[in-house]
Every structure is written in C-alpha cells, then in structure tokens.
Amino acid sequence: MNRQRRYGRTLPEALGEYTRRDPARFHMPGHKGQDIPYGNRLTGWDVTELDGTDNLANPAGVIAVTEGAYRDAYGARASMLLVGGSTSGLLTMSLALGRGRRVLLGRDSHKSALAALALADHDARFLLPEVNPTEGLAGMLTPRQVEEALQAQPADAVLLTSPNYYGFCADVEGIADVAHAYGALLLVDGAHGAHFPFSPQLPDFPAKKVDLWCVSVHKTMAAFTQSAVLHVGKHCPMDPERVRRMRNMVQTTSPSYLLMSSLDRALYVATKIGYQRHMERVEALRARIGRINGLRVLDRDSLGYGAVDMDLTRVVIDVTERGIDGPQAYECLVNSGIVCEMCDAYRVVLITTPQDPDEWYDRLIDGLTHLPYGMSRLHKEPPYIAMGRQVCSLGEAMLGPTERIPLAGAVGRVAAVAAGVYPPGLACLVPGEEIQGDAAAYLLQQQAKGFALFGVEEGRISCIKED
C-alpha cells in the first residue's frame, strides 16, 4: 500500500510500535498510558447525546455535574469542558471579549493565543518578558511591566501565560490587581497548570482574581489528549452564558464522550488520590538527579526575572555541565527507553504525574547516569528576545494575502506568521511585525547550528503580499 510504502507503517502501527517499546513516558498526556477505567470498552463508551448522556452545548445533567465539580475544585464561578484543548479555551476567551479590543500579551504567548486574537481581530500589543541570563531562559511578565504598559496606553484585557513550559509561574495576583486597577480583564493561559489546585506544595493560583482562564487537563492530569477546562472567575464581570455561547461556537457539535468522561475521571483521581505521595517522590527524584555528575535540576533558586514560583512536578534538567546539549541528552535518553516532553539547547524537560509507575524513576536515574560526557562545559547564550515595528494587526497579517519568501531576503518585509526556534517555541517574530535583520540573522544562525525553526519552512517565511 502506498501510505505504508512511504513511511514503512501506518498510524496505528506507529502507535503499536511505541507502546510495545514500553518507554518511561515523561511527556503528556498526564495519564502516561496507564489505565484509566475504559479498558477495552473504548468504543462502547464512544456515544453521542442520548437519553441520560446530557448535551455539552447546554448541560443540565451528567455533564453539568462534571462541570460543577470542576467549578468547585478550582474555585471558579463557572467551568466549561473543552474537547479542543486549551486552544479552544483561548479562542473562547478571545471571542468573549468581543471584536477589535485592545489586548496586552507576552511575547512568550503560545501560537494558539495569537490565532485566537487574530480571529477576533483584536489589536494586540506585545510585552517582552525579562531574560534570565544565568539560565539562558525567558522569564515571565511582571506587574510593573504590565502597569507601565497600561499607563502608556489602556487595554481591555491582559492575556498572561502562567505557568510556562518549564513550570515557572508569574505573579498572577499582582498582575490581576494591576489589570483591574486600569480597567482591564485578566485572562490566563494556564495550559500547563491544571494540577495546581491539588497540592499545597504546588503554586497558588489566585482564582478569585482572574477573570477567565483555561487549563489543559490532558497535559498534567489523567485525561485524554485534547481534554481541557475553561473557568470563569468568581468576580468576572462577564456573563458565563456569553462565555458558553462562544465556547459552543469554537467546538464541534459532536464532542467526544470519551474525552468528557476522562475529564470526569481525571478530577476524581486528582481529588481522591491527591498529589501528596507524588510530591514526596518527585522531591526524592529531584535530589537523586542532583547527585548525578554534571546534571542540575532547576529549582526555586532559578526564580526571579518575573518568576515567583515554580511547579516542582516539572523536572527540568540542565545538562550543560556534562558538556552535552539538550538534544543530545534527549536522544540518548530515548535510546535508553526514556521519552522526555521536550528539550531545548541546554536542558531536557520532563512531565511527572501521579500516574508514573515508580519503576520509571529508577530507569530515568539509570539513563541519566549513563549520559555521555562532552569535551567542555557548554556556555549558555540568552534567548533572542526583541521587538520589531508592529506594522499591522495580527488578524490583518495572519488572514490577509501572503507570499513565501526566503528568510535571508525577507528583511524589511512584514511577517504573516510567528517564527522562532523550536523548542522552546519563543517567537523571534510575530505576525504583523517588520522583519528585522537581527531576527532573520539569528534564525538562520540557529538553523545552521541544527535547531528546528517554526514559521520557516524550507528556508521560506510567509510574509504579507506586496503589490
């Protein structure tokens, strides 16, 4: 068959092969391939709106019960199930603002946030997070930065990402106070922090202060991929029914009952089993990794530059003292049967959850102990963070006519897409921005070093078409 000839296997075969390898999975989804109570009943539970199964668009039965349980667990005024990930949560939040509003957001925002703002034709203003030079990492937005930006020019909403991929958290409460003082709503992309309410050792989330936020339950809890939840804060001035209407506009009319019931189970598991034991074993794991020659686990010492707390279940291992880079470490671990969530130039990032079998931690320690040594300690360079001139709105840039141009010759043109180095995915260029020589040179240099770029395909970038 053609499709098999091209890749040597079909999609189900690729999944079968992955599960047969039985790797220690330090990546999402948070259920880690462990049993959530479906067993071989998967197709049996894949139903539609029936007598007794309620209707996600307007829940009044079993789905309303699950949504109510989320609302109570997260201290929200209303909670809504999402079957399109936090991506659909960001779309909902953006549409709930209306059209053409002024939104302040960090340059570290996920691409789904940019798409969400573009589709509602909002006027987006970017803020650059500070840079942590010791770690060579972007920090988080700060209340002071947000205040200065709001003083300079008002906005209808601030869209904050917290936690980030590395588990660092911004001062959400401080930013909420500032946003509200200037008449702006605070929306939070909390995709990576779904599990925060379930342990006092995890970062606090000021649910009372935030207007709208979404969490990708599938990333860190025992739910199927795409399962997420959108919350309306207790003091959000918006009518939850408006938010629900927008949520319904961006989701399928045939939501998967497998995803929705996995959301129900994930909450049950997190509440009943809790995170206490997991926090203890992760602490022990972090200490064991710290004792391995040339490895360092990022901890609270790395806070600052806008980060006020961190998620200790996210195990970020700096491998530079070992003289190897992140991609090398990632690859070696894969060869030892350990798959991490991601790597950047200097680190590997692992997602741990209560669903991890204990045995994986011994395998991980073994794999890390046997990582090779390089010639000399790697010097960390700060990530490229700079802002170009914003020529037009995200919507105009992303939805208008475009042409693909070799990046080397695109200086001075207006980007129609976000572009940067992946991982970690921080944008060097955002849609609507004039391409600076420095940004293009940095991207080309990183590509030459072997790093993958996003927003640049076969050396070309989509730019706004010129007449």
Ligand X SMILES: Cc1ncc(COP(=O)(O)O)c(C=O)c1O
The footprint of ligand X (CB under 6 A) covers 85-87, 110, 112, 161, 165, 189, 191-192, 216, 228
Q: Which CB, 224 or 360, lies closer to ligand X?
A: 224
How many Cβ atoms sit within 10 Å of the Cβ of residue 460? 15
Q: Is 139 helix (H, G, I), strand (E, B) or coil?
A: coil
> Among residues 77, 125, 85, which one has the least CA distance to residue 101?
125
Residue nearest to ligand X (CB): 85
Under 8 Å between Cβ of 461 and 435: yes
Cβ 377 to ligand X, closest distance in Å?
30
CB of residue 227 to ligand X, shortest distance in Å: 8
How near is the Cβ of 153 to ligand X at its closest, in Å? 25
Shortest spacing between CB 284 and ligand X, in angstroms: 27
Q: Which is nearer to ligand X, 24 or 105 (CB)?
A: 105
Q: Which is nearer to ligand X, 79 or 87 (CB)?
A: 87
Quote the strand ranges of 292-412, DSSP E.
296-297, 309-310, 314-318, 338-340, 342-343, 347-351, 402-406
Q: Give the position of tokens 């180095």.
A: 421
From residue 201, alpha-carbon distances to 113, 126, 280 in Å are: 29, 32, 10
Q: How far is the CB of 152 from ligand X (least distance, A)?
A: 26
Q: Which is nearer to ligand X, 117 or 414 (CB)?
A: 117
Q: How far is the CB of 87 from ligand X (least distance, A)?
A: 3
Other C-beta atoms lying within 10 Å of the C-beta of residue 301: 9
Q: Cβ closer to ligand X: 248 or 369? A: 248
DSSP 196: G
Amino acid at 282: V
Min separation Cβ 8 and ligand X, Å: 28
Closest CA to 111 of 465, 426, 447: 426
Determine the Cα–Cα distance for residues 329 and 239; give it in Å rounded to an integer.
49
Identify which of residues 23 and 30 has a Cβ nearer to ligand X in the complex. 30
CB 440 within 8 A of CB 407: yes
Q: Give the residue among 426, 430, 424 at the shortest CA–CA distance from 396.
A: 430
Backbone angles phi, psi at 419, to 5 degrees: -140, 145
* CB closer to ligand X, 86 vs 262: 86
